[in-house]
Each structure stands twice: as C-alpha cells, then as structure tokens.
Amino acid sequence: MSAAAVGVLTGCAGLEYKEDICSHGEYPALAVGGTGGACFSDKEEPSAGYVRYPAGKVPKQVDDKWDVYWNTHTLDKEGKIITAPDGG
C-alpha cells in the first residue's frame, strides 16, 4: 500500500460521529425530578413534567459534557439543580 493511501485511510480514523440530542427544529427538555428527557418543537413549550435546561447547561450531543452531567443531576420543582435520585 502506498504512503498516500495509508495517509488517507488513517486520516479518516480520527473522525467521530456525534449524535445530536434532538433533531433540527427541536430542543431538549429535562424531566423534573429525574434524568429522562424529551425533544420538543422550537415552536412549543415543554409538556407538563418537563422543563427547559438551564441556560448554558443544555446538552447538544449524546455524551457531551452536559449530557453526561444530567445523567446524575436533575431539577426539582422549584428549578434548583439537585443530585438525581435515580442517577447518582
């Protein structure tokens, strides 16, 4: 195999697919008191039992910093960040 071919093959190895939390035109919301979540249309508010993530702490992609954080944290009914009873 030529050096150029090896470079092309190994050059792509560093690319990693990152799955978005929600589809285009949607935003993620957190289940109050738990670590579950759902996606809602940008044109609607979250359903009862769900809230928008706090500004600056919104997960964008699966396993990103905030997605991992919200696996062990949640919001209580007052909107305070707490340790999730089912995640931590």
Q: What is the pTM of this model?
A: 0.76
pLDDT in tens, 10-48: 555 567 788 999 999 999 999 999 999 999 999 999 999
Range of the domain at 71: 20-83
How many CA atoms are closer than 13 Å to the CA of 33, on its beta-carbon side?
Answer: 4
Decide if 12 is inside a domain. no
Could you say which DSSP state residue 42 is in?
Answer: T
Please give the tally of structural domains in the chain: 1
pLDDT of residue 87: 53
Helix (H) or strand (E) holding 68: helix 65-69
Decide if 10 is inside a domain. no
49, 36 in Cβ contact below 8 A?
A: no
pLDDT in tens, 48-76: 999 999 999 999 999 999 999 999 999 99
